[in-house]
Amino acid sequence: MSEPGPLSASIIGSFAYLTVKDRLPVIVTRVIDQLYRERINIVDKYGEAATEGCKEVIGRLSQLKNAIQTNKPLELLEATDPLSPCDDSHVWNRHFEEYISTYEVPPKWFTAPWMYVECFMYAHIHESFYLCPALKDFDPFCEQKQKALLESLSATETLAQHVLSVCSSLPSLTQEQLRQHVINLIEISVWGNKCDLSISSGEERSPETDLLVSLDSLRPYILVNHSSPLWQLLVSLPEDQRDIVLVLDNAGFELVTDLCLMMLLTEAGLTTSLTFHVKTRPWFVSDTTHADLFWTLDTLREKGGACSEIGNKWKKYIEDGQWKVCESSFWTTPIPYSQMSTVDPNLYSQLSKASLIIFKGDLNYRKLTGDLDWPTTTNFEQALRGFCVAPLLVLRTLKGGPVVGMAERQAEDLATTVRDWNTSGEYGVIQLCTFS
């Protein structure tokens, strides 16, 4: 079977088309509006030079918004700081030149691959700030991410109480009881992925106060559910080979659900070493950066109750070295993971030592499968196109693209109810690949 082509905004009405036509300009507009609205506070924090800086950034972003809406060609990025790990302009510019070499025309917003143009927008936003020395560390999405957590504190407290209760009862649990608790938190982590600000163009999506009571009713909406083989993998790992890597997605409540799952795996001894991978820059509105992760821990520690208790536990895991936090600029490129071993062999080598890699969210799934227009019945391992670095697990809700690995009858049934997979997270996926 030949590989399908990449998803793009060239098909009117597709999710990619609606993303480029509607969502991306709205996201840029929100950043511009924030700079206008908060310019006095920004100047107070970043100094007088930020006054002109705001004007410069607004000018660049206004041009970016116009380019998207009028389908202008993408442009080369300027080198911000060749010595900085955040400067990957050479990667983007090489990608730009390769596109022209292949297609003999410059890439445009509605015709180039969707992954390329969507990632390019966030790279361009980052560049717009980084070229202004006073604002190079400004996160235009920080306010939205922090608000997303603060507005979900009730749900966070409820979940924290539950996880603490489960962890305190671990010595008396049977293996079947532990299995069910782990699977419940895996499912909560899946549904936490609905809180994606890049899909809602920055509009907050508050979670239910208690997801636990909804799990039974939500379970039929998990299209691919490999919970059972996942559990078998976790309990079969040798005690000295329980190294789990979690490639994070969104900050806010989703991050809380991820950390709660990891806490149970840690306390139950199902992982003895855990590494989180975060983004090096603001990305896709709500993706977790190093600063977001530690702000979350510090915020929860100050809230009292169960929030404070889990926040302190998580901070101690990191201080003791049980939990590690890593970042790589590879995660903020449009490059599919099938090319990782060539493009970033050091990252590939690090991941190859893991017993299990967990990828959260839609964007990771799209990069795993190359963001190609695969039939839904395509074998998952085939769609990975050779990315067999270690056993991997995907936890996501469907928002930006289809799912592979579905049974033919299941795919036919869903085709009548799901149009273009623009479901805003109503369906979930727990998908495992062990390459066995």
List, as one string, the DSSP characters of 67-94.
Answer: HHHTTPBP-PPPPS-TTSTT--HHHHHH
The number of beta carbons lying within 10 Å of the beta carbon of residue 356 is: 23
pLDDT in tens, 115-143: 999 999 999 999 999 999 999 999 999 99
Q: Kindly report, residue by residue over 170-197, the tens digit of the pLDDT.
A: 999 999 999 999 999 999 999 999 876 5
Helix-helix angle 114-130:49-69, to 10 degrees? 160
Question: What phi and psi values does residue 188 have, to the nearest 5 degrees?
Answer: -65, -40
For the segment 303-320, the average pLDDT, to the nearest whole number, is 98
Buried/exposed 391-416: b ≥16 CB within 10 Å, e otherwise: bbbbbbbbbbbbbbbbeeeebeebee
Please report, for residues 243, 300, 318, 353, 366, the alpha-carbon distance to residue 324 in angstroms, rounded to integers and kept in the order given.
Answer: 11, 19, 6, 14, 25
Provide the residue type at 96 as one letter: F
Q: Which two tokens stand for residue 376?
A: 């839904």
Q: Mean pLDDT, the chain, as a whole number?
A: 92
When pLDDT is averaged across residues 280-291 and rounded to a whole number, the result is: 96
* Per-residue confidence (pLDDT) for residue 87, from 0 to 100: 72
Q: Does residue 153 or residue 407 have the better pLDDT?
A: 153
Least confident residue range of 232-236, 375-379, 386-390: 375-379
3-state secondary structure of 277: strand
> How confident is the model at residue 414, as a pLDDT?
65
Binning pLDDT at 50, 70 and 90, where does residue 402 land? confident
Q: Quickly state the pLDDT bin for 198 (edges 50, 70, 90).
A: low
405 vs 383: CA distance, rounded Å: 9
The confidence band for 202, taking pLDDT boundaries of 50, 70 and 90, is very low
Q: Which has the higher per-residue pLDDT, 84 or 75?
A: 75
| The pLDDT of residue 400 is above 90 | no
* Helix H or strand E segment including 433: strand 428-433
Separation in Å, CA 398 to CA 8, 112, 365, 380, 428 = 17, 22, 10, 15, 6
DSSP, collapsed to helix, strand or coil, labels residue 98 as: helix
Q: For residue 38, is pLDDT > 80?
A: yes
Q: Please, which residues have CB within 8 angstroms of residue 207's CB and are 6 or more apart in sequence?
A: 152, 155, 191, 192, 194, 195, 253
Q: And the tokens for 248?
A: 């994070």
Given this model, what pLDDT does residue 406 score?
Answer: 85
| Helix ranges, 268-339 (H) | 290-301, 305-319
Q: Are the C-beta atoms of 255 and 60 separated by less than 8 Å?
A: no
Alpha-carbon distances, residue 36 vs 33, 143, 202, 285 (angstroms): 5, 14, 17, 18
- C-beta contacts of 75-78 below 8 A and 24+ residues apart: 77/123, 77/124, 77/127, 78/127, 78/131
Query: Residue 384: which residues within 8 A CB-CB, separation 6 or more?
Result: 337, 338, 368, 369, 433
Mean pLDDT over residues 360-383, rounded?
A: 95
What pLDDT was estimated at residue 200? 46
Name the H helices within 113-252. Answer: 114-130, 142-150, 153-168, 175-192, 215-218, 227-236
What is the per-residue pLDDT for 201? 45
pLDDT for 203-259, tens place per residue? 555 565 578 888 999 999 999 999 999 999 999 999 999 999 999 999 999 999 999
Predicted TM-score of the model (pTM): 0.95
Percent of the chain exceeding pLDDT 90 equals 83
Phi, psi of 215 (to 5 degrees): -60, -40
Average pLDDT value for residue range 51-63: 97
User: Rounded mean pLDDT of 291-308?
Assistant: 98
